[in-house]
Chain A
Amino acid sequence: MTLAAPLETSPVPDRAPRVDYDTLIQPERIHGSLYTNPDVFADELERIWYRTWVFVGHASEVPQPNDYVRKKLGLQDVIMTRDKNGEIHLLLNRCAHRANLVCDAASGNSSSFRCPYHGWTYRNNGELLGYPYHKGYGGKGKVELAMGKVPRVAVYQGFVFGSFAEEGPTLAEHLGDAAGEIDRLARLSPEGEVELTAGWLRHKTRANWKLLAENETDGYHPQFVHGSIFSVTGSHIGELYSDAATSVTRALGNGHSENDLRPEFRRMNEPMKWFGTTEDRVPNYVAAMRAKHGEAAEQILIEGAPHVMIFPNLFIAEIQVFNIQPISERECVQYSTAVQLEGAPELNTRMVSQSIGSVGPAGMLLADDTEMYERNQVGVGMREPKWVDIRRGVQRESIDKRGHTVGAANDETAMRAFWRNYKSLMAPENTEGTQP
């Protein structure tokens, strides 16, 4: 028996080697490690979630002055508040004193928040109002601290976005032509207003958030993943994405994409077909739309709602809105709700009912999508093949009048666009301000 030799110790690098995104993201294939590597997730937090515009919530969730609701932005616990002047703020739910949780209610109405730990109080715009036993600080108003805030908040059609970058593209620049798809949704309201007031389902998903973002405008999967519910309900949704369909997949710039189903609905030429109903079933709604839009109403009622994925986390699926928020490289939460249209009570109850049937943890559509995400997450961890293939339809893409790349209904045009944008945000030449 001999004494054990001293352990060989190798110096631990301060930081893992940089991920070579240029090699791992190729035009027609993506390396599986991008879904499994914790270093990639850490980079994503800094370069995407805490930098670009991220969907957080909707102004209709805080309709009154001093309303607030708790939200997530990446891993950050955020309070979305509306101050007494009506302005919306995204406060980081952390006391400036010793980092305690300032607000522990899910929602409410209050002009101020009081930290339970030492009683520091803040206005609902984040300003420090006061602290107890002020002599310990040399008097009142002596501490120059405040709650953290998401520095840039912008609202489009009530959709509230936050960006942790002090400077950068405006929300309008970020949305680009995807804004027009949000407009299409709002136009379906006789009052021109979308509300997200039906509450949120929260679906824990053991998969990387990018698998969800990629799937939202993937027209290739519906007939397979959702064949069970389409066959049981006699739904024709699958046909909108078939090889014979005239629908298209369109990259809208900045990683946004849509399944544009309008060509199919125009071909059918029936008002409310997009909603799976006929105009005689929703007569008051149709009348209100015709009163509002005149002759233009027919086109709106025929073409229906958008199916658009807005990078990185807002998905509008006709009558549902999804907010995807990451937890780690292998877990995320899908928040989903029913679109509610101001002035359309006939549609609103139907949209709640249809959404409950379709989305969320027990949804007859989304539970199956989520099963696929979770199986994919296992698959991308396997050793061979190392790549995820996204070449479908690359040979038949075209450029439309607005300069957007267009593919067939079930092509992977949207995924390629997602990854082009992802790479532009993650690639080293684009990382000014981050540590080497």
Chain B
Amino acid sequence: MTVTIDTDRSTPDLTDVREVEQFLYREARLADEHDYDAWEALWTDDALYWVPVDGGNYDPMQHVSAIYDNRRRINTRLEQLRTGKRYAQSPPSHLRRIVGNVEILGTEEKDSGAIDTVVGANFVLYESKPRGKEIWAGRYTYRLRVVEGEIRLVGKTVVLVDNAEAIPTLGFLI
């Protein structure tokens, strides 16, 4: 029996937590630094960026969420930010987040046949704005897929610790 080994390690391996983490850290850095073009390029066409409220145990077509963006609406959100007149982020918040407790939780098969790797992590995010500071924290659940030799972001669900409370304006990429 022979085993195919990716000897030059050019194909990402979504079972390798170190590789997964490197992707998550890059995604976090791009969001922290408002690098909208590079952040947008991470997403697949069947993207879903979701920030639920009330724990998220509901049908998002019938219940409001803070964010429930498909790929098109992700683009709209970023286009608005790129105008420089998205006043909630003009001037932009200063941001740094720590992503930790990274776990590979399993895989999911899409109707399209694509296999996505589900990854969980916790985060703490420090936001500084002229009128004050905010600490955001919560649980990230990512769906990752290798497309043409690169890790891409299919889904990102952000369950805030404060998801059942009133939260301040969330104008940046969380």
Contacts and interface: CB of A to CB of B under 8 A. Distances in A.
Contact of B61 (A232, A337, A349, A361): A349
Contacts of A12: none
A355 interface: yes
Interface in A172-221: 197-206
A229 interface: yes
A199 B63 contact: yes
B78 to A, nearest CB: 9
A199 B54 contact: yes
A225 B87 contact: yes
B64 A337 contact: yes
B79 A362 contact: no
A374 B79 CA distance: 24
A361 to B, nearest CB: 4
Given A199-B58, A201-B53, A367-B169, A360 B66 contact: yes
Contacts of A338: 64
Contacts of B77: 364
B165 A353 contact: no
Nearest to A227: B85
Contacts of A336: 64
Contacts of A227: 83, 85
Which residue of B51, B83, B132, B168 has the most chain A CB atoms within 10 A of its CB atom? B168
Query: Chain A contact residues (Cβ within 8 angstroms of B): what range?
Result: 35 or more
A356 interface: yes
A367 B171 contact: yes
A333 B85 contact: no
B79 A201 contact: no
Interface string A98-123: 00000000100000000000000000
Contacts of B63: 198-199, 352
A8 to B, nearest CB: 37
A352 B88 CA distance: 22
Interface string A326-343: 000000010011100000
A232 B80 contact: yes
A313 interface: no
B36 interface: no
Interface residues of B, number: 33
Contact of B62 (A229, A232, A348, A370): A348
B164 interface: yes
Contacts of B64: 198-201, 336-338, 352, 355-356, 360
B145 to A, nearest CB: 25
Given A228-B80, A229-B80, A202 B86 contact: no
Contacts of B79: 232
Contact of B167 (A202, A356, A374): A202
A378 interface: yes
Interface in A356-382: 356-357, 360-362, 364, 367-368, 370-372, 374, 378
B98 interface: no
A362 B53 CA distance: 12
B67 A368 contact: no
A233 interface: yes
A103 to B, nearest CB: 15
A206 B131 contact: yes
B170 interface: yes
Contacts of B51: 362
A225 B165 CA distance: 26
B131 A374 contact: yes
Contacts of A372: 87
A371 B88 contact: yes
Contacts of B53: 199-202
Contacts of B86: 228-229, 364, 367-368
A371 B131 CA distance: 10
Nearest to A229: B80
A355 B62 CA distance: 11
Contact of A368 (B58, B88, B131, B170): B88
Given A361-B169, A371-B87, 4 more contacts: A202-B167, A204-B168, A232-B80, A367-B86
Nearest 6 Cβ contacts at the A-B interface: A202-B166, A367-B88, A228-B85, A204-B166, A228-B83, A361-B170
Interface of B: 51, 53-54, 58, 61-68, 73, 76-77, 79-80, 83-88, 131-132, 164-171
30 contacts: A106-B164, A199-B58, A199-B63, A200-B53, A200-B64, A201-B53, A202-B165, A203-B169, A205-B169, A206-B132, A228-B83, A228-B85, A228-B87, A232-B80, A232-B83, A233-B76, A333-B166, A337-B64, A352-B62, A352-B63, A356-B65, A360-B66, A361-B66, A362-B169, A362-B170, A364-B77, A367-B171, A370-B169, A371-B87, A374-B131
